[in-house]
Amino acid sequence: MMTAMTTPDMELALPARATNIAVVRHAFGALGEVFALDEEILSNIRLCGHRGMHERRRPCLPDEHEGLLEVAATLQADKLEVVVRDEGPGIGPRPGSPGLGLGLPLIASLTESVQLGRDEDERTEVRMTFPLSVASS
């Protein structure tokens, strides 16, 4: 998935462990404070970031290979782009999974757009775009 080169406003590279998902959630909270994001929007970003990392983390790497979990967030004029990537084999059906299969549909419902694919280094990536204004009711 090739995109224009933009310097992210937040970039993290952590061992791909479930415990680091909380670290990333806190980083999104700090990003929200710095850029004074609406609380509803920030809640969506945290939830989708968590789901995106959980979707990536659970099936991605065998136990003996921890790998890296990378998260980048880029603020644009009216949206925030969040990219979650790792070295796993990709997202696909997982027979016998204990989940309900709602992670990706939830992300799709809370984002402006979501893309699944591989980056130029063949790492699996979830790319999510969030609008920065709350839709009127």
Q: Report the predicted TM-score, pTM, of the whole model to 2 decimal places.
A: 0.78
- Provide the pLDDT for residue 60: 44
Its sign, for the CA torsion 21, 132, 75, 33, is negative
Residue positions counted in the chain: 137
Instruction: Give the number of C-alpha atoms closer than 13 A to the C-alpha of residue 85, restricted to the C-beta side.
Output: 20
d(CA 94, CA 67): 20
pLDDT digits (tens, 9 = 90+) for 30-73: 998 988 899 999 988 888 877 666 554 444 444 445 688 899 99
